Structure formats: structure tokens, C-alpha cells
Amino acid sequence: MNNVGFFLNEAENIIIRNIYILMPKADNGADGISMQESKNIWVDHCTFESVNQTSDYEDGSCDITHASNGVTVSWCHFIKTQKSCLVGHSNSNTEDTAITATFHHNFFDGSSSRHPRVRFGRVHVYNNYYNGCTTYGVGSAYGAMVLVEHNYFDGLVLPTDICTFPAKQSGSKWVSNLQGDVAGYLYAANNELKNRPAKARDPYPMTNVEYKAYGGEKLAQPYTYADFQPAYSYPYDPASEVATVVRNGAGVGKMSGYASAPMAADNGQ
């Protein structure tokens, strides 16, 4: 699909599988796949490729907003995408506390940011392969609860980013990429962190289980793994094997019987 995307509005029980999307231009907020007020959505074995590699040309590759819940994004390949996966529409959309989503076995391949970038919702991020992502890996802001485990981060200055202080040094270029003064929460465990760039700073990766906002106000009791743990059971690959497993299995044409799409689609731009 070239310059064409999917917009799911109040949709239920939808599977989008084995679609190759060359990212549409961001006219009127166009995304590769976006969903609002939707539930039980599965995006699987799709490939999203940037055709421009500039931050304002394309919008989101796969965005989850406006209280969508029960969403899974799995075994997808994101090639040099700029704003890959937004979860939670804006700093004022408190309805997005209803969002629940899982990202697993995705290949973020030279992409820039939002892998995913979460506001308000509860998101589980595991067994993903991050290869040279240029801005940050996983971001958490505005009360989001994000569990990041068993992933493989290769060559990232910021494997994780958090909308809070003192996550980074105040008053420097290391202040968060995520705008706003309300903290996101992120628990990281059992991840592989390879080829740390020389300009990366400690703490590496950044987590937050206790700070409410810039300025250092703390929760009465820090969050623990149990506060982030999803309700479902799930098998996972060891983080050390994720780069190989995901590189070999993610994206279009990697499933038996789905070697190619039956037809092309182009909006004529």
C-alpha cells in the first residue's frame, strides 16, 4: 500500500495482517494504521516503511488513541519510521487511561521514536528488537504504566525515556524528549542492552517507579513489578535471542501462506 492507511473508529474484533505500508504523507493527520474508540484489535506481521525520513512528512505508523483497548501489535517491521507508535492522543486526553496494549516481537529498524510513546494507558512491551533507533526507544508520560521486559536494545542512546524529573539532568540537553510535567511510570527488567553509545548517560536505561512530576515529588510508596504485571500469561523468548528471532520472523511475507499480498493499493499521490 502506497500513501494509503487504515483508520479504525469504534471498531471491534479486527485483524490487520501481512500488509506492507509505505507511509502516507501526514495530510490531515494520516497514519499507516490508527485506531480510536476501538477494541480487540490485532496488527500482526505488517511492515511500515518511511518514504521520506523527515519528522514532519509522515505521522504515526501504528497509533492507538481515544480509549482503544485490548490492542496487540506483534511481529511487525518498522523501517526508518519517524513517529512509530503513539499510544494516547494528547496530554489532555485523560480518557486514554482506558487504553491497554501489548507490543511484542516487533523489529524497530533504524526508526526514530515512539516504540511506543505512551500517555495514560497500560502497555506491555516485550521481546522487541530495537536496532539503532535514533531518538529513543520506549517512552512513558502522564501517568502511563509501561512494563518493558525481555527486549533487545542495540546502539540506543536512550533505550527508555520518561516524562519526569529527576529522570535526567535538569537544564541540559538530556532533559526528556517527552513534553509535559506529569510523570510517566516505567519498569524495565531482563532486557539486553548492547553497544551503548559513548554519548549515552546514566541512568541507563531510565526507569521511574516513584516520581510524580518534575521537581521531585514522590509517591507515598514506589511501584513494584506487581503493579505493572499484565493479567494474562505469556510465553517469551530470552532477551539474548530476540535479535535473531525477530529479525527472522517480523514483517510481511514471514508467515506460511502469506508470501506476498494479492494486490497493490495506491491513492494516486
Reference 144, options 207, 75, 61; nearest CA is 207
d(CA 78, CA 87): 16
Annotated catalytic residue, options 17, 114, 117, 196: 114
Neighbours of 161 (CB within 10 A): 25
Q: Which three cell numbers stand for residue 242?
A: 530476540
247 an active-site residue?
Answer: no
Peptide bond into 205 cis (omega under 30): yes
Q: Which residues are catalytic?
A: 114
